Structures are given as C-alpha cells and as structure tokens.
Structure 1
C-alpha cells in the first residue's frame, strides 16, 4: 500500500542551508523509491487557517517511508531544514484503490451501536 510523507512547512528566510537541503533531499529518497507529488506549490486554503506550504512524498509502502526518514542520509541533512523551517511532518499509509468511505462509516456506525 502506498504511503506518504506529508509536511506542513512554514519557511523563514531562504538561505544556503535550505537550498543545500533542497538540492540533495531527492538523493536520500531514491533508495526508498520516494517521489515528490507536491513540492513548492501555492496552497489554496478552503477552510481554516493554513500558513505555509505542503510537501507530499509518495513511497511504495509505510516501511519504505519509515526507512527513508530514519536513514543516515536523511538524518544527516534534516537539521538543515529544521533549523530554518518550522512545521509538522507525518507518515501515513494510503487506502486501497477500491476504498469506500461509506463502508467505513457503516462499520463505525455498527461498532458504535448507532
């Protein structure tokens, strides 16, 4: 099942460390088959406050996403981002192509006795 690394980032001023991080981050993802789905695009906020930007990286599975984040190569450059960009990063597993939210609602309804 495809998994995603999702970042909600609020960059401060651009500097050489951030540019270096951006220049080498793909090489840390390659061994784990990570690829950017969203990077550097303006968000269109539809609900609530949302300062900053979004980054979405796809991996073949959650194990690959975890292994990338924990890898020596990524951990070596991570401080270059965290020193200058506030934000949150999460890993999440996607759903199957045939996922049906109504079936999930039915299971939750039944489990809650509603």
Structure 2
C-alpha cells in the first residue's frame, strides 16, 4: 500500500540553505522510490483556513517512507529546512484499491 510524507509548512524565512535543501532532496528520495506529488503551490482554500503551503511525497510503502526519513542522507540535510521553515511532517499510509468509506463508518458506528 502506498505511503505518503505530508508536510504542512508555515512561517518560511528565506535563506540560502532552503535552496541547498531543494537542490539535494531528490537524491535522498531516489533510493527509496520517493517522488513529489505536491510541492508547495498555494492551495485554493474552499473551507476553513490554511496558513502556509504543503508538500506531498509518495512512496511504495511505509517501510520505504520510514527508510527515507531516517536515512543518513536525509538526516544530513533536514536541518537546512527545519532551521528556516516552521512546519509539521507526517508519514502516513494511503488507502488501498477498493477503499469504501462506508465500511469505516460501520466500524466507527459499531465502536460507539
């Protein structure tokens, strides 16, 4: 099942290290089959508020996502981003083919 790295980036402070991070991140993703799905364009907010921007990375599975994040190559450059951009980064599994939200609703209903 696919897994994703989702970042909500806020309060960016321009700095040359951000450019270095951008120049180096793809090389950290490649060994883990990671790819950018969304990379920071402003979103069209249709409900609520969304301060900042988003990044969505896709991996074959959660093991690959974890491997990328904890890899020495990524950890070496992570501070280039975190020192200058406030944000959150999550690793999360996607849903498989045939996902039906009604099944989730039934499980939640049964648990209450």
Q: Shorter chain as normaliser: what TM range?
A: over 0.9
The alpha-carbon deviation at position 93 of structure 1 amounts to 0.1
The alpha-carbon deviation at position 11 of structure 1 amounts to 4.5
Q: Which residue of 2 aligns with 1:59?
A: 59
Q: TM-score, normalised by structure 1?
A: 0.93
The alpha-carbon deviation at position 14 of structure 1 amounts to 2.2
The alpha-carbon deviation at position 45 of structure 1 amounts to 1.3
Give structure 1 regions of 4+ aligned residues with deviation exceeding 3 angstroms: none
Q: Which residue of 2 aligns with 1:84?
A: 84
SS in 1 for 2:42: coil
Q: Deviations over 1:82-105 (max 9, x none)?
A: 000000000000001100001111
Q: Which residue of 1 aligns with 2:15?
A: 15
Q: How much is the aligned-residue C-alpha RMSD, in angstroms?
A: 1.1
CA distance in 2, matches of 1:32, 1:48: 35
The alpha-carbon deviation at position 49 of structure 1 amounts to 2.3
SS in 2 for 1:45: coil
Q: Deviations over 1:30-77 (max 9, x none)?
A: 000000000031111122221110000000000110110000000000
The alpha-carbon deviation at position 10 of structure 1 amounts to 1.6
Unaligned runs of 5+ in 2: none
Aligned length: 112
Q: Deviations over 1:8-36 (max 9, x none)?
A: 00242322100000011010000000000
Q: Which residue of 2 aligns with 1:39?
A: 39
User: Quick check: 85-94 or 100-109, which moved more?
Assistant: 100-109
